[in-house]
């Protein structure tokens, strides 16, 4: 069978030019695209440099990651959990309000968009004691004490922090609440603390009866804004040695590097204090003096896909502010994930899977 002769090459060239012309005319006369305002935040997963505290983690009690177990001690199950705030040093009212808005956002009664701080605390509330009672979901700021005179100096230790609590209790701004109460000491950016920036950004423990009169669970968190933001306000500040390598620091959701960085540390310590108030409840490891707790297991993870230098998928608003949780009064926060006893993995309400 004979083959049909093909048209000359010039025919295909002419046909190609004709089709190109038709496409151009159609594109120029078609309806223009309308650009709409995207009100949803962007989802990003930046890879940032590692913290300078690599061999010893920045939170109290970090050690090798082993299986989390219950050691038969109490959790904070009574509702509400009464938080007594001690403001040590000089604090701006706007800074106090930001921290209090975060704490007030924890309870389920707080009105906030999803994913919310209250949703984040739901993971903490999954932990139970030997009676089956869960960590309370209701949290109340039951009292505040201001020590702007630095009554114990501008350099504190783990022992003098208990003296700060004793001074606050003895001045009677709030009662000794050894059943439902926890004491949260927040130090301003000009106050130094033993091991601050070098090994810890916050820690929790309980007071000694010989110093305070009762055994009271407490936590301390410092404002690192002037001392070591690249350590304790990460990822809103990164180590200076990085220079221009990588994406650089992220923009804090409320415009205050030090206090925005404190929020995640406060969340970390409150979660561990509620699930392990006397250091004999939920932790990993055999040594209660160096436990790995539910916050330690997820340090540095803020969203899906975190790990290996990535903080995980978080949100960024139209002003490029980075966050993963919503709070009351329209607040936004970036708070690390918590270990879930159900999923046996780090979990947060902003998970995408």
Both tokens assigned to 320: 């490029």
Check: CB of residue 156 under 8 Å from CB of residue 193. yes
pLDDT digits (tens, 9 = 90+) for 58-76: 333 333 444 899 999 999 9
Pairing of strands 325-326, 332-333: antiparallel
Contacts of 350 (CB under 8 A, 6+ apart): 115, 302, 303, 304, 313, 314, 315, 324, 325
Residue 144: C-alpha distances to residues 96, 188, 296 (Å): 11, 15, 28
pLDDT at 29: 40
For 238-256, what is the mean pLDDT? 76
The pLDDT value recorded for residue 91 is 98
pLDDT at residue 247 in the model: 57
Phi, psi of 332 (to 5 degrees): -125, 145
Q: Is the dihedral of CA 92, 94, 98, 104 positive or negative?
A: positive
pLDDT greater than 90 at residue 16: no
pLDDT greater than 80 at residue 31? no
Contact 275, 124 (CB under 8 A): yes
**What pLDDT score was predicted for residue 246?**
53
Find the mean pLDDT for residues 312-316: 95
pLDDT at 97: 98
Query: Cα separation of 296 and 312, whole Å?
Result: 16
Confidence of residue 241 (pLDDT cuts 50, 70, 90): low
Q: Residue 51: its pLDDT value, please?
A: 55
- Number of residues in the chain: 353
Average pLDDT rounded to a whole number, residues 289-299: 92
pTM of the model: 0.84
DSSP 207-229: --HHHHSS--EEEEEE--TTT-H
Q: What is the pLDDT of residue 286?
A: 82
CB 277 within 8 A of CB 312: no
Longest dimension (CA), the chain: 110
Q: What is the pLDDT of residue 244?
A: 52
- Mean pLDDT (the chain, rounded): 85
């Amino acid at each position: 069978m004979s083959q049909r002769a093909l048209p000359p090459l010039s025919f295909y060239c002419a046909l190609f030019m004709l089709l190109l012309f038709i496409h151009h005319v159609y594109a120029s006369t078609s309806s223009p695209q309308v650009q709409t305002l995207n009100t949803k935040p962007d989802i990003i997963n930046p890879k940032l440099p590692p913290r300078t505290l690599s061999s010893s983690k920045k939170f109290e009690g970090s050690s090798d990651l082993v299986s989390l177990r219950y050691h038969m001690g109490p959790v904070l199950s009574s509702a509400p959990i009464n938080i007594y705030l001690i403001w040590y040093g000089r604090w701006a009212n706007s800074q106090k309000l930001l921290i209090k808005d975060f704490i007030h956002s924890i309870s389920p009664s707080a009105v906030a968009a999803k994913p919310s701080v209250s949703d984040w605390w739901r993971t903490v509330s999954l932990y139970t004691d030997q009676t089956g009672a869960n960590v309370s979901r209701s949290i109340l700021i039951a009292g505040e004490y201001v020590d702007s005179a630095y009554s114990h100096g501008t350099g504190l230790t783990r022992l003098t922090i208990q003296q700060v609590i004793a001074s606050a209790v003895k001045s009677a701004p709030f009662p000794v609440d050894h059943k439902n109460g926890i004491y949260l000491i927040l130090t301003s950016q000009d106050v130094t603390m033993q091991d601050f920036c070098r090994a810890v950004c916050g820690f929790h423990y309980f007071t000694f009866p010989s110093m305070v009169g009762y055994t009271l669970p407490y936590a301390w968190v410092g404002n690192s804004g002037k001392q070591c933001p690249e350590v304790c306000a990460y990822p809103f500040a990164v180590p200076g040695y990085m220079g221009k390598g990588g994406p650089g620091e992220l923009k804090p959701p409320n415009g205050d590097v030090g206090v925005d960085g404190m929020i995640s540390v406060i969340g970390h310590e409150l979660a561990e204090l509620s699930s392990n108030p006397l250091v004999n409840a939920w932790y990993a490891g055999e040594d209660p003096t160096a436990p790995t707790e539910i916050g330690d297991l997820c340090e540095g993870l803020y969203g899906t896909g975190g790990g290996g230098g990535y903080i995980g998928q978080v949100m960024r608003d139209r002003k490029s502010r980075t966050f993963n949780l919503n709070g009351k009064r329209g607040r936004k926060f970036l708070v690390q994930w918590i270990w879930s006893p159900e999923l046996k993995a780090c979990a947060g309400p902003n998970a995408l899977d």
